[in-house]
Chains A and B, each alone.
Chain A
Amino acid sequence: AQSVTQLDSQVPVFEEAPVELRCNYSSSVSVYLFWYVQYPNQGLQLLLKYLSGSTLVKGINGFEAEFNKSQTSFHLRKPSVHISDTAEYFCAVCEGSGGSNYKLTFGKGTLLTVNP
Chain B
Amino acid sequence: GAVVSQHPSRVICKSGTSVKIECRSLDFQATTMFWYRQFPKQSLMLMATSNEGSKATYEQGVEKDKFLINHASLTLSTLTVTSAHPEDSSFYICSALGLAGGFDNEQFFGPGTRLTVL
Q: Which of A47-80 contact B (CB under 8 A)?
A: 49, 51
- Residues on B with C-beta less than 8 A from A90 are 43-44
Asked whether B93 lies within 8 Å of A44 as measured between CB atoms, the reply is yes
Q: Does B29 contact A (CB under 8 A)?
A: no
| CB of B48 to closest CB in A, whole Å | 10
- Residues on A with C-beta less than 8 A from B41 are 109
- Residues on A with C-beta less than 8 A from B108 are 46
Report the Cα distance A67→B7, complex, angstroms.
Answer: 36
Report the Cα distance A46→B110, complex, angstroms.
Answer: 12
Total inter-chain residue pairs, C-beta < 8 Å: 58
| CB of B96 to closest CB in A, whole Å | 11
Residue of B nearest to A105 (CB): B46
Mask of B90-116 contacts with A, CB within 8 angstroms, 1/0: 010101010100001111111110100
Binding site for A on B (CB under 8 A): 4, 6, 31-32, 34, 41-46, 49, 51, 57, 91, 93, 95, 97, 99, 104-112, 114
Additional A-B contacts beyond A41-B91, A100-B57, A109-B43 (12; CB < 8 A): A42-B112, A43-B109, A98-B99, A98-B105, A99-B99, A100-B49, A103-B34, A104-B46, A105-B46, A106-B44, A106-B45, A108-B42
Instruction: Offer 27 A-B interface pairs, CB within 8 angstroms, sorted by A.
Output: A41-B114, A42-B111, A43-B4, A43-B111, A43-B112, A44-B93, A44-B95, A44-B109, A49-B105, A90-B43, A90-B44, A98-B99, A98-B104, A100-B51, A100-B57, A102-B105, A102-B107, A103-B34, A103-B46, A103-B49, A104-B44, A106-B43, A106-B45, A108-B42, A109-B41, A109-B42, A109-B43
Binding site for B on A (CB under 8 A): 32, 36, 41-46, 49, 51, 90, 94, 98-100, 102-109
